[in-house]
Amino acid sequence: MIYFESDYMEGAHPEILRRLMETNLEKHSGYGSDIYCASAKEKIRRAIGSPDADIYFLVGGTQTNQIVIDAMLGACEGIISADTGHIQCHEAGAVESCGHKILPIPHNQGKLPADALRRYLETFFADPNHPHMIYPGMVYISHPTEYGTLYTLDELSALADLCRQYHLPLFLDGARLGYGLMSRGTDVTLRNIAELCDAFYIGGTKVGALCGEAVVFPRGNAPKHFFTLTKQHGALLAKGRLLGIQFDTLFTDDLYFTISRHAIQMADRMRAAFAAKGYEFYISTVTNQIFVVLDAEKLAALEKQVSFSFWEKLADGRTVVRFASSWATTEEDVRALTDLL
Amino acid sequence: MIYFESDYMEGAHPEILRRLMETNLEKHSGYGSDIYCASAKEKIRRAIGSPDADIYFLVGGTQTNQIVIDAMLGACEGIISADTGHIQCHEAGAVESCGHKILPIPHNQGKLPADALRRYLETFFADPNHPHMIYPGMVYISHPTEYGTLYTLDELSALADLCRQYHLPLFLDGARLGYGLMSRGTDVTLRNIAELCDAFYIGGTKVGALCGEAVVFPRGNAPKHFFTLTKQHGALLAKGRLLGIQFDTLFTDDLYFTISRHAIQMADRMRAAFAAKGYEFYISTVTNQIFVVLDAEKLAALEKQVSFSFWEKLADGRTVVRFASSWATTEEDVRALTDLL
Amino acid sequence: MIYFESDYMEGAHPEILRRLMETNLEKHSGYGSDIYCASAKEKIRRAIGSPDADIYFLVGGTQTNQIVIDAMLGACEGIISADTGHIQCHEAGAVESCGHKILPIPHNQGKLPADALRRYLETFFADPNHPHMIYPGMVYISHPTEYGTLYTLDELSALADLCRQYHLPLFLDGARLGYGLMSRGTDVTLRNIAELCDAFYIGGTKVGALCGEAVVFPRGNAPKHFFTLTKQHGALLAKGRLLGIQFDTLFTDDLYFTISRHAIQMADRMRAAFAAKGYEFYISTVTNQIFVVLDAEKLAALEKQVSFSFWEKLADGRTVVRFASSWATTEEDVRALTDLL
Amino acid sequence: MIYFESDYMEGAHPEILRRLMETNLEKHSGYGSDIYCASAKEKIRRAIGSPDADIYFLVGGTQTNQIVIDAMLGACEGIISADTGHIQCHEAGAVESCGHKILPIPHNQGKLPADALRRYLETFFADPNHPHMIYPGMVYISHPTEYGTLYTLDELSALADLCRQYHLPLFLDGARLGYGLMSRGTDVTLRNIAELCDAFYIGGTKVGALCGEAVVFPRGNAPKHFFTLTKQHGALLAKGRLLGIQFDTLFTDDLYFTISRHAIQMADRMRAAFAAKGYEFYISTVTNQIFVVLDAEKLAALEKQVSFSFWEKLADGRTVVRFASSWATTEEDVRALTDLL
């Protein structure tokens, strides 16, 4: 069996485990006040080019989305998202459980189109009944999106401009950010993101860590009492070093980027193999996720030898499935898949 | 410097790190569906003598308290706690943030006295205005308590009887459960707890794990949709194996109990040393936490060479401080402290 | 100026004011425990043919929707609604503010189609990822709908059957229920609603009362602590008599139905007048709400002499506006409108 | 039977009903945008001497407390209250249901003592663990208190000074404000309250209205989107005129103060009668509430002829009961009581 089911099937990059081992019996104070958290934050500030950034380490993606959104929305404000956004579809109502409405806008290949956002905002404020409705209070995007697509710098800038015009903070979910940044042809850099967004997170769980996401408020703009809010949400680790050491390792010698690039190289080869064999792509991607349409026969044949994940059933009876590479995907895995196709 | 500030100053028990390393590149499905979670649950079921128990692994203590309480309280119900309870004092309003009121009752040495609970319940239902008030809906205790004290089996049984009489689930916070169970003279066993409580958790973070708490519903009585609720609270790890492997290790060859017993042996020696030197105990404990009263001079002298934690200021100007041992405390640490005193 | 802006532009039916006056200095105990509340409940039980019904009087529609939904949803459950539902569009996130997600389904003329509901439920439970999503927990419909349309008895029965099959309570928002029941050609009776729904409310505010909605749990199935929940939501009036006297009056000598029928007769004449003059209806209704499409010129001309409400802007530049009759609409008002057209 | 059970046993002051009748068939737009709301606000602004005040009309006291507190607290902030505060004791967890913790401080005769508040704040910020706790975010007092007592101007000023020093808004619950302002010997005026508080409400329900409370933000300092927040909480009446007309009437020709003074005169006579007959007062009050201690025999005798309300059981077996006068109490009622004693 070869595994392409997801990008979180293994433990951590070996270098992370090595450093956890090496530092294991050192005594450190708790709750993120240790030297490794401090060092990791400093390295991230350098990587994003924002010396004043406020940075917090949280454990997982849904938790991070929930806390950041809860912290940044005001009373009677909701969060705008593409209707395919992770917060809207696959987070078990985490945002609503904090009292906030999600305001979905139809996606374009998983992305939130700036023109659709503009129309939404114009229509909202033009409606005389809008004081009886939830105000737009923040914009959520993911990069890469849930469909593995990427914003161009132009698209991201257009969204950021619109957000500034309407005084809406822009929040970017970077659960797979490394894979997005290392994809071929993207013109969006980590510094662009730090300049254009008001908050974003650098995903660790899917990019080499056991767990962990680094939340960044790039202009030192963390909401008041954000530390206490993480405690209130049950997100504050007593042994904060677990996150500090992982991110310190990932941001030493560009490890985060190196392993992300590897995953993309593996995905590119997989894409080439699918294309060569005439497989139909459901959506065109350049990141570590590949969506392929299979008929019943192919599906039955493949699933005996490869693990992948179910995405959706098409009206014509065929099935969309997802193959994901990761930092841990080997050339052998890819070769085995190629041979199989 | 020698360190007794808390029981979460180190990483994990080395055996845990060894097994994380050993299994690191195995491919497992996510969200707690891996073989290590399954194995760990089975071992815990045996340890508590409850073959039907529902078990879930969560990341930290505040998170666990919040989710279990949120899952088990009904509309207009609050949770009764000693006024020194962790949920009431040091969890940043995590319970209230989910909409639930805490109903505090004056503690006795950190414990919730059954007779005070009985009076509370009788008074509540006798008050003709009680439909304008939050109903008691659940009882929270911690064992060991926040003051390092332990319930006797009689005390625990009295609380459990009262809870059953009033149809109130009894929930036990076991953040330091191992240390409580291995303390000298305690007559409360893990099986007693599984019999008397409706929910409890076995703390990992403070007893050898990097992170992790095992929630137990001993009679297969997990609330409906509890898995989804953990997701909604941002508590579901993509790499659930991180928790499964840790608890599987802790419940292999009684490691959890062995390392807890070691911490108690260290604490017992520390207690003896304090007593021999005429230090005053703020409260009498048999667990891994020792509360000592220091005058300004002693405090200043000690804090140069030992780390401990501030507890509270007494009216007479003296200070209560806490020394905690843990699975990682060495005989050298204890000898150094003894010499110092 | 003649007024058709809404059905809540006047005070109360004069008979209500007369009885408030008549009973004003009587001394009654508070919070709905007075004799008028008791009498009103008894009359409603007879009117709906449900001698065991639990009935509560609340103040307004959004409040009622919020409390009933909050009381009936379990953890991780959301409420299904047509995407045009009042709770989804015009209640300022009241449902989400209690932590619950709304699960919208595309409407058909303001109604929730049973076949669309069935597809939603089948797709949800077929999706292997559904434990990461909010479960359907309840179904919300309004009758008349926000578009002034009515369910047929067949449509309502199909929804109720489906709800029972999936163990989902069916909740009917009857803010304008009187007008729906008295419309020509409807085959849905108050008794049908009591049989087919698990909760519904009989709107007072828009049908002759100063304020007030009567919530009905037709089989004595009020959620536990529902009284306390109304207090918790700030919905419990100290002077509950204000609601009791109003509903007692409305359900004496069929006043509720008589005044509703009058509103429909007025609306029918208005409809006839619009049709005779060649106005285009945006949607075909038989209730007290009439939606008409106006071009810019007509709009400008009419709004000088008649008040109506803005509904929406069409793509072709024309505007949909709403004319509403009510218990207080007079034959003179209608004649004046007819002359004007 | 004579009735002193509460101050909300009758309907409304007759002048209010007269004006509801008189204006009943006038057509007004909804949601508080009518001319009577505007006029009432203007009269209140004059009465409090704050021309820039933001004023909103809500329906009841618990609702008002809930919404104002929800609007004014920030993330991880709680509200400080005397432990006898209405929000802490008799509002069914309304504040907590919005996610906020109440921080109770021991009362002195129902009042929050400034020195106890100061100690609380100093201790909180001195505790190195305070970032793990809920921050004080606002101060709640009631005037008169739940025990019928009144703050002096000095006491109120001391609280206000402390609040400003710590940047905590001061919120005054004036459910019985009229009775407090008209009590003999008080040196606190409505203008003082408007100067010293950041938010307060003028109670209508207990002072002559059918329902209704006027929330005042005296320096135009209403929280953002406060109108929408009232809608979200289900507190926005479609027929806002019901509240506008009532407050417009109460603040015409000083009616609010005249009827409050009458209630105090009646209470003063009742107090004199109790004193003359040697009854023991539980607490000394000058407002419309009188707390008397009765032994079992007296209690049994009195309750056959007078209605009053149970307050609490004393340790010695005697009972504290409350007699309340109101705007509707007649000289005949008081004479009948006097004769009876």
pLDDT band at residue C224 under the 50/70/90 scheme:
very high
Could you state, in order of their start, the residue ranges of all structural domains in chain C? 2-8+256-340, 14-253
CA angle A71, A73, A77 (to 5 degrees): 160
Among residues C74, A11, A91, C125, the alpha carbon closest in space to that of B236 is found at A91
Contact yes or no for A74 and D231 at CB 8 A: no
Flag whether pLDDT at D341 surpasses 90.
Answer: no
The torsion angles phi and psi of A314, rounded to 5 degrees, stand at: -85, 165
A77 Cα distance to chain centroid: 23
Distance of CA B30 to the CA centre of its chain: 27
The whole-angstrom distance between A5's CA and the closest CA on chain B is 8
Residues in C touching A133 (Cβ below 8 Å)? 89-90, 92-93
CA distance C249 to chain B (A): 28
Burial class (CB in 10 A: 0-12, 13-18, 19+), D264: buried
Q: CA C42 → CA A63, C48, C206, distances in Å?
A: 49, 10, 22
The whole-angstrom distance between residue C280's C-alpha and the CA centroid of its chain comes to 26
DSSP secondary structure code for residue C108 in this structure? B
d(CA C191, CA C170): 15
Structure-derived torsion over alpha carbons of residues D131, D134, D138, D142, reported in degrees to the nearest 10:
-150
What pLDDT is attached to residue D193?
Answer: 98
The two most distant CA atoms of chain B are separated, in Å, by: 63
Q: Which two tokens stand for residue A102?
A: 């999600």
What are the backbone dihedrals phi and psi of residue A188, each rounded to the nearest 5 degrees, phi first?
A: -100, 125
What mean pLDDT is predicted for residues B124-142? 96
pLDDT of residue D86: 97
**Residues of chain A neighbouring B15 (CB-CB closer than 8 A):** none
> Which of A80, A89, A91, A101 is best to mutate for the C interface (most C CBs within 10 A)?
A101
The shortest C-alpha distance from B241 to chain D (Å) reads 29
CA D314/CA D319 separation, integer angstroms: 6
* C228 to B99: CB separation less than 8 angstroms, yes or no: no
d(CA C168, CA C196): 12
D333 pLDDT more than 90: yes
Q: What are phi and psi for residue A115, nearest 5 degrees?
A: -70, -35
Q: Work out the number of other CB atoms within 10 angstroms of the CB of residue D61.
A: 27
Chain B residue with minimal CA distance to D94? B99
Residue C55 is predicted with a pLDDT of: 98
Please report where in the chains the tokens 């000289």 appear, as a residue.
D331
Specify the DSSP element, H or E, that contains D339. helix D331-340
Contact B134 D89 (CB under 8 A): no
Amino acid at D138: M
Ramachandran bin of C324, using left for φ above 0, alpha for ψ from -120 to 50, beta for the remaining angles = beta
Q: Which residues of chain A have pLDDT under 70?
A: none
| Binary contact (B9, A27; C-beta < 8 A) | yes
Cis peptide preceding A144, ω within 30 of 0: yes
Task: Please check whether residue D21 is in contact with residue D230, taking contact to mean a CB–CB distance below 8 angstroms.
Answer: no
**Which residues of chain A from 113 to 172 reach within 8 Å of chain C, CB to CB?**
128-129, 132-134
Question: Hey, which residues does C280 pair with through a beta bridge?
Answer: C293
Contact C228 B135 (CB under 8 A): yes
Q: Residue A223: closest CA among chain D residues belongs to which residue?
A: D75
Class of domain A14-253: alpha beta
In chain A, the residue whose alpha carbon lies closest to the alpha carbon of C131 is: A92
Residue length of chain B: 341
- C137 in Cβ contact with C108 (< 8 Å): no
Residues 306-325 of C with CB under 8 A from D: 307
Contact call for C9 and D23, based on CB within 8 A: no
**CATH classification for the domain delimited by D2-8+256-340, as one of 3.30.70.270, 3.10.20.30, 3.90.1150.10, 3.40.640.10:** 3.90.1150.10
Residue B147 contacts residue B282 (beta carbons within 8 Å):
no
Give the B window 199-218 contacts with A, CB below 8 Å.
205-206, 210-211
Q: Which of B7, B59, B86 to mutate to test the interface with A (most CBs of A within 10 A)?
A: B59
A24 CB neighbours in chain B (<8 A) are: 10-12, 14, 17
Minimum Cα–Cα distance from B232: chain C residue: C76
Using the Cβ of C227 and the Cβ atoms of chain B, whether some distance falls under 8 Å is answered with yes
The answer to whether the beta carbons of residues C255 and C320 sit under 8 Å apart is: no
Cβ pair A225:D70 closer than 8 A: no
Q: For an interface test with A, which of C70, C96, C100, C321 has the most A Cβ atoms less than 10 Å from its Cβ? A: C96
| Beta bridge pairs of residue B320 | B293, B312
Q: What is the pLDDT of residues C166-181, one digit of tens each?
A: 999 999 999 999 999 9
DSSP-derived pairing of the beta strands D213-217 and D199-203: antiparallel
Q: What percent of chain A has pLDDT over 90?
A: 98
Partners of A242 on chain B (C-beta within 8 Å) are: 11, 210-211
Q: Out of A75, A99, A134, whose CB is closest to D71?
A: A75
C300 at A interface, C-beta within 8 A: no
Model pLDDT for residues B154-211, shown as the tens digit of each residue: 999 999 999 999 999 999 999 999 999 999 999 999 999 999 999 999 999 999 999 9
Which residue carries 């949909």 as its tokens? C320
Q: What are the structure tokens assigned to A51, written together?
A: 């010396």
Task: State the pairing for strand pair D2-3/D306-307.
Answer: parallel
Same fold, C2-8+256-340 and C14-253: no
Cβ atoms < 10 Å from Cβ of A139: 26
**For testing contact with chain B, the best of C77, C228, C237 (most B CBs within 10 A):** C228
ipTM attached to this prediction: 0.97
Chains touching B by CB (3 or more pairs below 8 Å): A, C, D
What's the whole-model pTM score?
Answer: 0.97
3-state secondary structure of A197: coil
CB-CB neighbours of C161 under 10 Å: 14
- The residues in A 88-107 lying below 8 A from B, measured between CB atoms, are 91-94, 97
Mind giving me the DSSP string for A1-56?
A: -EE-S-S-SS---HHHHHHHHHTTT----STT-SHHHHHHHHHHHHHHT-TT-EEE
Chain B residues inside the 8 Å CB shell of C29:
none
Going by DSSP bridges, is the β-strand pair D170-173/D199-203 parallel, antiparallel, or unpaired?
A: parallel
pLDDT of residue B311: 92
Share of chain B above pLDDT 70, in %: 100
Mean pLDDT value across residues C239-246: 98
Across the interface, of C75, C227, C232, the residue whose CB is closest to B225 is C75
Q: Are B194 and B53 in contact (CB under 8 A)?
A: yes
CA distance B231 to chain C (A): 7
Q: Which residues of A touch B92 (CB under 8 A)?
A: 228-229, 231-232
Q: What is the pLDDT of residues A63-113, one digit of tens each?
A: 999 999 999 999 999 999 999 999 999 999 999 999 999 999 999 999 999
Tokens of C219: 């089989």
Annotate C177-195 with DSSP letters as a single string.
HHHHHTSTT----HHHHHH
**Residue of B60, B64, B238 lying closest to A205 (CB–CB):** B238
Residues 49-68 of D with CB under 8 A from C: 59-67
Longest Cα–Cα distance in chain D: 63
Going by pLDDT thresholds of 50, 70 and 90, the confidence category of residue D74 is very high
Give the model confidence (pLDDT) of C255-314 as tens digits.
999 999 999 999 999 999 999 999 999 999 999 999 999 999 999 999 999 999 999 889
DSSP state letter for B37: H
- Assess B232–C contact: CB distance below 8 Å, yes or no: yes
Residues facing C208 on adjacent strands: none
Query: Distances from the Cα of C19 to the Cαs of C242, C255, D11, D78, in angstroms?
Result: 10, 13, 11, 44
Q: Looking at the complex, does the CB of residue D71 fall below 8 Å from at least one CB of chain A?
A: yes
Measure CB to CB from residue A96 to each of C89, C101, C128 and give the nearest one. Answer: C101
Query: Is residue B242 helix, strand or coil?
Result: helix
List pLDDT tens digits, range A140-164. Answer: 999 999 999 999 999 999 999 999 9
Nearest-CB residue to D133 (from B92, B99, B132): B92
How far is the CA of A142 from the CAs of A4, A250, A303, B338, D58, in angstroms? 22, 21, 29, 56, 41
How do beta strands B170-173 and B199-203 pair? parallel
Residue with tokens 């509903």: C247
Could you tell me how far CA A98 lies from the centroid of its own chain?
21
Query: Which among B97, B323, B327 is the top mutation candidate for probing chain A, defined by the most A β-carbons within 10 Å of its own β-carbon?
Result: B97
CB proximity D304 to A under 8 Å: no
C132 and B99: CB-CB below 8 Å?
no
Contact A231 D132 (CB under 8 A): yes
Q: Which is it for strands B289-294 and B319-324: parallel, antiparallel or unpaired?
A: antiparallel
b (16+ CB within 10 A) / e for D208-246: bbbbbbbbbbbeeebbebbbbbbbbbbbbbbbbbbbbbb
What is the rounded radius of gyration, in angstroms, for the C-alpha atoms of chain A? Answer: 20
Token look-up 């593996």 returns A266
Q: Please give, rounded to a whole number of angstroms, the shortest distance from the CA of B168 to a CA of chain C.
A: 15
Contact by Cβ (8 Å): D336, D4: no
Compute the average pLDDT of residues D290-296: 96
pLDDT band at B103 (very low <50, low <70, confident <90, very high): very high
